[in-house]
Chain A
Amino acid sequence: MTLIKWSDEGGQVRLGLPSDLDLPMAQPLLEGLRAGFGASDTVIADAGAVERVSTACIQALLAASRHAAEHNRTFAILQPSEVLTEACEDLGLAPWLKQWSRA
Chain B
Amino acid sequence: MEDLSRFKQTYFDESAELLAVAESGLLRLTPGEVDSDEVNAIFRAVHSIKGGGGAFGFTELVAFAHEFETVMDGVRNNSIPVTTELVDTLIRANDVLGQMLAYAREEAAAPPGTTDDTVAALRRHLAGGPAEVTASEPTPTVQPAAYPDDEDDEAGIFGDAMAAIDAARTEAETGIGAPVPEGKLRWTITFRPKPDLLLSGNEPTFMLRALRRLGDATIDCDLRSLPPLPALEAELLYLSWTVTLVADPDVDQEKINDVFEFVADECDIRISVEAPPPAVVAPPAIQASTDPVPVSATPPVPAATPKPPDVARAEPAKPRPNAGNSGGEHAGLTSHTIRVDLDKIDRLVNMVGEMVITQAMIAEHVRDLPPGEFQELLEGLEQLAQHTRELRESVMSIRAQPVSSVFSRMPRLVRECAAATGKEVQLVTSGETTEVDKTVVENLVDPLTHMIRNSIDHGLEGPEERERIGKPRAGTVHLSAQHRSGRIVIEITDDGRGINRPKVLSKAIEKGLVQPGASLSDEEIDNLIFLPGFSTADQVSNLSGRGVGMDVVRRNISSLGGRIGVYSAPGEGSRFVLSLPLTLAVLDGMVISVGEERFVLPLTNIVESLRPKAADLHGLVGKCDVMMARGEYVRLVYLHQLFGIPKAVTDPTRALVVLVETEDGARLGLVVDEVLGQQQVVIKSLEANFRRLDGVAAATILGDGRVALILDVAGLREMSRHYESGYSRPPGPAPAALPAPALEPV
Contact = CB atoms under 8 A, between A and B. Distances in A.
B229 A67 contact: yes
A55 B204 contact: yes
Interface in A4-43: 22-24, 26-27, 29-30, 33-34, 37
A47 to B, nearest CB: 15
Interface in B226-274: 226-230, 232, 234-235, 237-239, 241, 243
Given A55-B237, A90-B212, A62 B226 contact: yes
B142 interface: yes
B158 A66 contact: yes
Contacts of B168: 95
Interface in A29-79: 29-30, 33-34, 37, 52, 54-56, 59-60, 62-70
A70 B63 contact: no
Contacts of B531: none
A31 B84 CA distance: 43
B220 A92 contact: yes
A62 B59 CA distance: 25
Contacts of A52: 70
B341 interface: no
B313 to A, nearest CB: 26
B198 interface: yes
A54 B666 CA distance: 67
B229 A64 contact: yes
A7 B237 CA distance: 29
Given A92-B142, A92-B208, A34 B230 contact: yes
Category for how many chain B residues contact A: 35 or more
Interface core residue of B205, B230, B234, B243 (most chain A CB under 10 Å):
B234
Interface stretch (B159-167, B328-336, B485-493, B558-566): B159-167
Contacts of A89: 139-140, 142, 219
A33 B229 contact: yes
B198 A96 contact: no
A92 B221 contact: yes
Contacts of A33: 229
B203 interface: yes
A68 B162 CA distance: 13
Looking at chain A's contact residues, the main secondary structure is helix
B223 interface: yes
A90 B209 contact: yes
B144 interface: yes
A59 B208 contact: no
A88 B208 CA distance: 11
B234 A29 contact: yes
B139 A22 contact: no
B204 A91 contact: yes
Interface in B66-121: 66, 70
Interface core residue of A34, A67, A70, A95 (most chain B CB under 10 Å):
A95
Contacts of B218: 92
Given A62-B226, A69-B157, A93-B221, A23 B205 contact: no
B164 A99 contact: yes
A92 B229 CA distance: 20
A69 B198 contact: no
Interface core residue of B70, B134, B221, B223 (most chain A CB under 10 Å):
B221
Contacts of A65: 158, 161
A29 B229 CA distance: 11
A59 B228 CA distance: 11
Contacts of B229: 30, 33-34, 37, 63-64, 66-67
B219 A90 contact: yes
Contacts of B159: 68-70
Nearest to B131: A82
24 contacts: A23-B198, A30-B232, A30-B234, A34-B229, A54-B205, A55-B239, A56-B235, A60-B232, A63-B232, A66-B158, A66-B223, A66-B226, A66-B228, A69-B157, A82-B130, A90-B209, A91-B204, A91-B239, A91-B241, A92-B142, A92-B243, A94-B142, A95-B142, A96-B161
Interface of B: 59, 63, 66, 70, 130, 134, 139-140, 142, 144-145, 157-162, 164-165, 168, 198, 203-205, 208-209, 212, 218-221, 223, 226-230, 232, 234-235, 237-239, 241, 243
Given A56-B235, A92-B219, A94-B142, 13 more contacts: A26-B235, A34-B230, A52-B70, A55-B203, A65-B158, A66-B223, A66-B229, A67-B228, A67-B229, A70-B159, A91-B219, A95-B164, A96-B221
4 interchain residue pairs of minimum CB distance: A92-B219, A69-B159, A26-B234, A67-B229
